[in-house]
Amino acid sequence: MEHVYLDNAATTPMRPEVIAAMTAQMQNDFGNASSTHYFGRQAHTALDHARQQLADVLHTKADHIVFTSGATESNNTVINQVAFAKANQGKHIITTAIEHLSVLKPLQALEQQGYRVTYLPVDEKGEISLADFDAALDDDTILVSIMYGNNEVGSVMPIKEIGARLRDHQALFHVDATQAFGLVDLNPEELGVNLLSASAHKLNGPKGVGLLYRDGDVHFPSFQKGGEQETKRRAGTENIPGIVGFGTAASLLDVEQKNARQQQFADFSAQLTAKLTAADVKFAVNGDLARPRLQHVLNLWLPGVSTYALQTNLDLAGFAVSGGSACTAGSLEPSHVLTAMFGADSPRIGESIRISYGMTTTAEQIDAFGDALIKIVRRLLARAK
């Protein structure tokens, strides 16, 4: 049986070019980038090259890029280190109710330590309102942490507008761009963003490596204490093969390719929803396909069909989708994103699936997936009668 992967918001397969670059790195240059001898210098050259590749993607300078073990570490670093570093200027932080748990959980921990956190609500499209943001911002605000686009429903946040509002404010602006990095041309300086998180495994790079962009004026102590790697911002021997893979993956996607991907993914959603409509299957999109969004994510409500049954049956038929945020879905916890959008009592919470496309997805796969989905939904609904 062919297995079709439609869970690219959870992680993506590595590109052959990435595997080749990493393999060459592991075979030839195993040195520690902190060593001053030949082997160390070779590793350092590879590190510098990857840093420049990622800086180019973000239209910035190489020394604004700090490598981390992934977006979870980048997000935790920002929230803990920046909040502590600015504690004498205020104790208020603004975020949204639909951030990734690697933002929400450290913020909840800060609340236990006397920080005040505003969680901006979202509407049924998964979007925040600038009026709510304006009402929340005050003289005590030191950090604003808002994701570029949501990993469960694909909605995007008004990053440029918030960046503009914060230009003359003491608060630093952090954007978790983990889902957007492979699909959107990002220029943090133009967006008014001071700190940005991204992760290699969402753009066909390796797992366990990410970055934290910081603008030149932002200083924070290393989250991990130890050596002086990453100009004292992140202690620990760098994962050079992973970083080389990250640089390669990011540099293979230019703006045109990102735009083409977004268009192709929008077409997949149109194809799939048209097929469901033609088959008279009852469904609704959690979100709004007509709005600007991250097109690789399609979250569907199938009334009367349990997420668990649907996901399991699709898996048995060879189709891998997610029952919410795949990063937390293993636990079958109700989605905090759908809860924020529709309320805890909404049937959508237990009757929705997330389909997410990537570079290996084809129109034929979407067609076959649509056929399987229609068949399974009909069978499950008939059984429930």
In the complex, which residues of this chain contact ligand PLP (CB under 6 A)?
70-72, 100, 102, 147, 151, 176, 178-179, 199, 210, 327
Give the nearest residue (CB) to ligand PLP. 70
Question: Whole-number minimum distance, CB 100 to ligand PLP, in Å?
Answer: 3
Minimal distance, residue 51 CB to ligand PLP, in Å:
18
CA dihedral 337, 343, 349, 354 (to 10 degrees): -30
CB 144 within 8 A of CB 174: yes
Distances in Å between the Cα of 232 and the Cα atoms of 51, 195, 221, 291 are: 16, 17, 7, 42
**327 tagged catalytic:** yes
Which one-letter DSSP state was computed for residue 15? Answer: P
Minimum distance from residue 126 beta carbon to ligand PLP (Å): 13
Q: Is the sign of the CA dihedral 69, 172, 226, 109 positive or negative?
A: negative
The residue among 53 and 76 lying less far from ligand PLP, judged by its C-beta, is: 76
Angle of CA points 55, 76, 231, to nearest 5°? 45
How many helices, marked H, and strands, marked E, lie in the chain?
14, 12
Q: How far is the CB of 307 from ligand PLP (least distance, A)?
A: 18
- CA distance readout (Å), 347 to 51, 307, 342, 352: 46, 10, 9, 9
- Spatial neighbors of 371 by CB under 8 A, at least 6 apart, are 275
DSSP 349: G
Q: Closest separation between CB of residue 248 and ligand PLP, Å? A: 17
Check 43, 146, 211, 327 and give the catalytic one: 327
CA distance 323 to 41: 46
Residue with smaller CB distance to ligand PLP, 222 or 322: 322
Q: Which is nearer to ligand PLP, 199 or 286 (CB)?
A: 199
Nearer to ligand PLP by Cβ, of 90 and 247: the residue is 247
Q: Which is nearer to ligand PLP, 77 or 179 (CB)?
A: 179
Q: Provide the minimum distance between the beta carbon of 368 and ligand PLP in the complex, in angstroms, as a whole number.
A: 26
Cα–Cα distance measured from residue 339 to residue 23, given in angstroms and rounded to the nearest whole number: 43
Between 98 and 300, CB nearer to ligand PLP: 98
Q: What angle do CA 246, 250, 256 make, to 5 degrees?
A: 170
Active-site positions read: 327
